[in-house]
Amino acid sequence: MEMTDYIYFDNAATTALDPLVKDAMTPFMTFNYANASGTYHDASLARSAINKARAQAAALIGAEPDEIIFTSCGTESDNLALYGTAMAHFSRDKRFNAVSDTIEHPAVYNTLDALKKAGFIKLARVSPDKDGFITPGAVEEAVHSQVKTKRDDASGQTKDNGIISVMSANNEIGAINDIAGIGSVAAEYGYLFHTDAVQSFGHVLLDVDVMGVDMLSASAHKLGGPKGIGLLYLRRGTKIVPTMYGGGQEHGLRSGTENVAGIVGFGEACRLAGIRMSADTRYIHELRDRLVSRILNEIPDTILTGPQLPDMGDKRLPGHCSFAFKGVQGSSLVIGLDIRNICASTGAACSAAANRPSRVLKEIGVAADHFNGSLRLTLSRNNTIEEVDRTVDAVKACVTQLREMFGDD
């Protein structure tokens, strides 16, 4: 099967490898296969290519190159941030405080559960509001219940009271959080601040200093880069220990021979994202807005889950559309679209695989009769208006057919 025969509307799950990224990677998958730790000429070329990619990734988020740790994926970055800091702050008589929320990706959610179970952290989770935002006010309430008082030095220099982990944008409903607001809370209460930015990195402007984050996770395959390469931004001076030991690569925090081609591809994807972001956003917003308004206007008993358009258009990931259709099974809808050569999902790829109901939709209070009818269509710069129109027509046909087959009225 050729993916090119398909309309691909599942860009939150993964993106196509950008041809320029592939070109940048090719030398390191073919003639230059040197281990970057070597001392010969080709090894030094590989080392330089890694350094260049580190600078490209750092530039995209206003960081310094030595604050970028390459990992194997976003999941690993989340695990390193959370395990690494929890273990670094471990003491036998006091558990490290942690505040997160109920709609994190499993890479954060399940990691925090494991840390809690192992006795490393004392965990509080806040709920989203009805649009799917985790507000600074809700986070502050949870932090306050753990430590009661603000730090006198609100400079955020001493961050040993605990850790906050709140995602930059939600993968199922596209809500972009006020990360800078939460960063201020973290600084005021002496908490470290980690954000999972896997969905927003390369798609919306992120600046680690403006946001006040100490750690930020990202993954190349969500922005036209290859799979199998992620990064953790780690602010200088953050107290953390490695979760993998070995040869001491990546400042001793992520041992293992570097994935040179993957790192180079990630760097190039970052460079391209920096150049293209504003034009791409404008274009993708146009597609998104048309898709959402046509679906809501033409298919009755349908809701857009997460931030509403047009009012909250900037608080929703640019290409992210998520719906819930009354009286329809989202999984049947995805099959119906697949038969029509359209790639879509019910929500997160991982929960779809496990066939579990969505924790996120439950948390934002989606009505019971819409709850199972979720459909996520996520667009990219590679999509067109014609594809939007063909997809809306296909969704309409599938929903009508499913309601006729299974509806009770």
Q: Tell me if 134 contacts ligand PLP by CB under 6 A.
A: no
Q: Which stretch binds ligand PLP (CB under 6 A): 3-11, 94-102, 178-186, 196-204?
A: 196-204
DSSP bridge partners of 96:
121
Q: How far is the CB of 393 from ligand PLP (least distance, A)?
A: 28
Q: Tell me if 269 contacts ligand PLP by CB under 6 A.
A: no
Q: Cα–Cα–Cα angle for 389, 391, 394, nearest 5°?
A: 115
Q: Tell me if 103 contacts ligand PLP by CB under 6 A.
A: no
DSSP bridge partners of 191:
162
* Known active-site residue 350: yes
CB of 87 within 8 A of CB of 118?
A: no
CA-to-CA separations, 392 to 119, 288, 295, 297, in angstroms, rounded: 49, 11, 6, 11
Q: Tell me if 219 contacts ligand PLP by CB under 6 A.
A: yes
Q: How far is the CB of 321 from ligand PLP (least distance, A)?
A: 16
CB of 131 within 8 A of CB of 312?
A: yes
Q: Which is nearer to ligand PLP, 98 or 399 (CB)?
A: 98
Q: Tell me if 57 contacts ligand PLP by CB under 6 A.
A: no
Q: How far is the CB of 350 from ligand PLP (least distance, A)?
A: 7
**Total interface residues for ligand PLP by CB under 6 A:** 12
Q: Tell me if 171 contacts ligand PLP by CB under 6 A.
A: yes
Strands 162-165 and 191-196: parallel
Q: Which is nearer to ligand PLP, 138 or 167 (CB)?
A: 167
Q: Which is nearer to ligand PLP, 102 or 146 (CB)?
A: 102
CA distance 176 to 29: 36
Q: Name the token pair of 218.
A: 């990202």
Provide the 10 A C-beta neighbour count for residue 329.
16
DSSP bridge partners of 100:
125
Q: Which is nearer to ligand PLP, 230 or 265 (CB)?
A: 230
The binder of ligand PLP chosen from 75, 97, 281, 322 (CB under 6 A): 75
Q: Cα–Cα–Cα angle for 292, 297, 300, nearest 5°?
A: 110
Q: Give the active site residue among 270, 321, 343, 350.
A: 350
Residue 133 φ/ψ, nearest 5 degrees: -90, 145
Q: Tell me if 73 contacts ligand PLP by CB under 6 A.
A: yes
CA-to-CA separations, 169 to 5, 9, 134, 198, in angstroms, rounded: 30, 18, 10, 8
Q: How far is the CB of 213 from ligand PLP (least distance, A)?
A: 15
Q: How far is the CB of 284 from ligand PLP (least distance, A)?
A: 17
Q: Which stretch binds ligand PLP (CB under 6 A): 19-27, 73-81, 111-119, 290-298?
A: 73-81
**Binding region for ligand PLP (CB under 6 A):** 73-75, 105, 107, 167, 171, 196, 198-199, 219, 230
**Could you give the residue numbers annotated as active site?**
350
